Amino acid sequence: MHNKTKKGNLPNLIIIGASKCGTTSLHYYLGLHPQIYMSAEKELNFFNSPVNWNKGIDWYKSKFIARADIFGESSVGYTHPFRKGVAERMYSIIPETRLIYILRDPVERIISEYVHNYSDGVEARSIDETIKDFGTNTYVLRSKYFMQLEQYIDLYPKSNILIFTTEEMYTNRSATLQKVFEFLNVDATFNSPDFYRLKHESSMKRRKNNFGLLLKRISETNIAKIFSPDLRRNIGRVLYLPFSDRIERPVLESGLRQRLIKYLEDDIKCLRDYSGQEFKDWCV
């Protein structure tokens, strides 16, 4: 293992997305492996945030002070459709890093992101109203997986990119994590009972609350300086859970759903051709 240094290390693993596809769970599971150190704060957003990028490499390295063979972070914003130059910045600093892109049925991903935003109070429209215009719609474009992956394909060799699905991870977690460990060249026989405990709240029905207001209030206090963003988010959920209402998963109007599937077909075909995977359980 690498020796612990005061300045830290550059990561050799980046989970680049996708949003609402189980990256939080994967980040947690990988961090259980004795040869892997995952950043304490999940979303470092070094390569896509001008503020964090301007903090410099030493700031980034300081997030990985540990002994490990693999140092990793997870920032789904690295595959955000409207943020340009992310892959180029990443390649300029860590050209040999390994990339993991975890995906799910693209329509289900859209619905999950909508439910997340609606429950947090940042989305008030119906789901049909929210996604009816496809061309510049962030919900929809985040499910154009190949479009977002192309920037990395142009720079990183295929052998450095691992693609698998949320469906795989939750139906056959042990085999999926073994595949990930083999990709990272760490002990693939490692197992943990914590692999089978629910980590992410998406496994439960979400609740409508005043979460957005709570986060704003928290950010205006000294709590923001004490706790990480992930921890502040979890504190908010606990505080508001007793006063919230359950949200039923919305159903897309059938015509809109079929139009959405048709819109995503070409992108998913390119993804299938590149990856060699069928994604046979997907609706697209």
239 in any annotated domain: no
Kindly state whether residue 281 falls inside one of the protein's structural domains: no
- Please tell me the pTM assigned to this model: 0.84
pLDDT recorded at residue 241: 45
Overall domain count for the chain: 1
CATH code: domain of residue 92: 3.40.50.300
* Torsion angle of C-alpha atoms 109, 115, 118, 123, degrees rounded to 10: 20
Question: What is the distance between the alpha carbons of residues 256 and 252, in angstroms, rounded to a whole number?
Answer: 7
Q: What are the C-alpha distances in Å from 52 to residues 56, 64, 75, 182, 230?
A: 7, 15, 12, 31, 17
pLDDT in tens, 135-165: 899 999 999 999 999 999 999 999 999 999 9
pLDDT grade for 240, boundaries at 50, 70 and 90: very low
Average pLDDT, the chain: 87
- 59 in a structural domain: yes
Gap between the Cα atoms of 122 and 221, Å rounded: 21
Q: Is residue 5 part of a domain?
A: no
Q: Is the peptide bond before 66 cis (omega within 30 degrees of 0)?
A: no
Contact 60, 139 (CB under 8 A): no
Q: Is the pLDDT confidence value at 201 over 50?
A: no
Handedness of CA 106, 205, 211, 54 (dihedral sign): negative
Q: What is the pLDDT of residues 87-123, one digit of tens each?
A: 999 999 999 999 999 999 999 999 999 999 998 889 9
Tell me the C-alpha distance between 282 and 284, whole Å: 5
Question: How many C-alpha atoms does 43 have within 13 Å on its Cβ side?
Answer: 16
Give the residue-averaged pLDDT of 10-22. 96
Rounded distance between C-alpha atoms, residue 84 and residue 89, angstroms = 10
Residues 79, 101: Cα–Cα separation, whole Å:
9
- In this structure, is residue 133 part of a structural domain? no
Pairing of the two strands 36-38 and 70-74? parallel
Report if residue 227 sits inside a domain.
no
Look at residue 233 and tell me whether its pLDDT is greater than 60. no
The length of the chain is 284
- Identify which has the larger pLDDT, 128 or 1: 128
Closest C-alpha to 98, from 69, 124, 123, 120: 69
> Rounded distance, CA 142 to CA 140, Å?
5
140: its two tokens: 């929809």
Q: Determine the structural domain holding residue 29 and report its residue range.
A: 13-106+143-203+265-275
Can you tell me the mean pLDDT for 166-188? Answer: 96
pLDDT band (50, 70, 90) for residue 206: low
Q: For the beta carbon of residue 143, count every other beta carbon within 10 angstroms.
A: 30
Q: Is residue 167 part of a domain?
A: yes
Q: Using one digit for the tens of pLDDT, what is the confidence trace for 22-42? A: 999 999 999 999 999 999 999
Q: Higher pLDDT residue, 182 or 241? A: 182
Q: How many CB atoms neighbour CB 38 within 10 A?
A: 25
Q: Tokens 């159903």 map to which residue?
A: 251
pLDDT in tens, 68-94: 999 999 999 999 988 889 999 999 999
Lowest-confidence pick of 17-21, 65-69, 231-235: 231-235
Q: Is 253 among the domain residues? A: no
